[in-house]
Amino acid sequence: MKKLSQLTWIYISIGGFVLFAVFFFFTIKTGRRIELDISVYFFLIIIIGLIASGFLAGAMKSVSRYENSGSNGKLYLAGPVVIFCIVMYFGYQYRPLEKKGPLSLAVRLTGSQSSYKIPENASVNVVIDLFQQTKILNSEGIAFFTGISDQYKGRKIDLFLNVSGYHPENAQIYKLSDSSDHTNLIIQLQRDVEITTLQGRLYSSHDKTGIPDAVVRFVGTSYIANTDSLGNFSAKLPVKPGSEIRIIAFKGNKEVYNSLRTVYQDDFLTLTQVE
């Protein structure tokens, strides 16, 4: 194989050598301000080291020598290898430092029902160790938190939601990302179910005595109440106070009551048997 001439080495290597000088000078001057991924930086340093070695050893016919004696023998390096090692050493010494800045967090609230609408003035309170902020949801249902110390990476997030009529669908433990400066959280909300508590008595219209062991059904709900020995019953219905609901009572297989009633909180209903 024909060897490259000294002039050819100059033409091939001079561009790389100039690039190395400019890049190295820029790295030293900018220091921490340089925004370059560390893996990309060392890849460039390797390429520049090879170019510089080729230029000095091939074009300039320069020879470097390094010799060191140890307990297990001698280490002897000469030529382009030493040049390459020198470039790598200074490249490592002046490598860009990892940029550290404050962390950020985005909390998005969304409903599991298609009818979900973002309540007005809904807010999210975040507590992470000594950090605490409260933010109002924007028009997209997102609350943004900034200025979180980078020391809190991977830490637990305590969330307090102020969303009228809704609560989190599932209880979960939330944490800041331990690998990224930004964390996204999506929380599913479920509409609060209003409960109407009431009591009542089912009795016979004939002798005004209570009807025991009867079954009282509330149409539109899965709730069933049973009367005691005096005909009394109690119920907790998943309906809003003031709602109208059909109540049907059975004694065995016989229907003894069937009527629409308006129920209120802590109401007492008197159900008269149908003759």
- Pick the most confident of 7-21, 82-96, 105-119: 105-119
Domain range summary for the chain, segments of one domain joined by +? 6-93, 104-191, 196-272
What is the model's pLDDT at position 140? 87
Calpha distance 163→117 (Å, rounded): 11
Instruction: Identify the bridge partners of residue 111 per DSSP, sorted by sequence position.
Output: 189
* Tens of pLDDT, residues 22-75: 766 666 565 544 555 667 677 777 766 766 666 556 555 555 555 566 556 565
For the 196-272 domain, the top CATH level (class) is mainly beta
Question: In a 10 Å sphere around its CB, with 0-12 CB exposed, 13-18 middle and 19+ buried, how is residue 218 labelled?
Answer: buried
CATH fold match for the domains 104-191 and 196-272: yes
174, two tokens: 């939330």
- One-letter amino acid at 108 equals R
* Look-up of token digits 């605490």: 132
pLDDT at 202 over 90: yes
Distances (CA, A) of 19 to 25, 41, 155, 259: 10, 14, 43, 91
Calpha distance 165→119 (Å, rounded): 8
pLDDT tier, 155 (very low <50, low <70, confident <90, very high otherwise): very high
Q: Which CATH architecture has domain 104-191?
A: Sandwich (2.60)
Question: In a 10 Å sphere around its CB, with 0-12 CB exposed, 13-18 middle and 19+ buried, how is residue 233 labelled?
Answer: buried
**Entry pTM:** 0.47
pLDDT at 209 over 60: yes
Q: How many CA atoms lie within 13 A of 37 on its CB side?
A: 3
Question: In a 10 Å sphere around its CB, with 0-12 CB exposed, 13-18 middle and 19+ buried, how is residue 117 labelled?
Answer: exposed
Contact 165, 189 (CB under 8 A): no
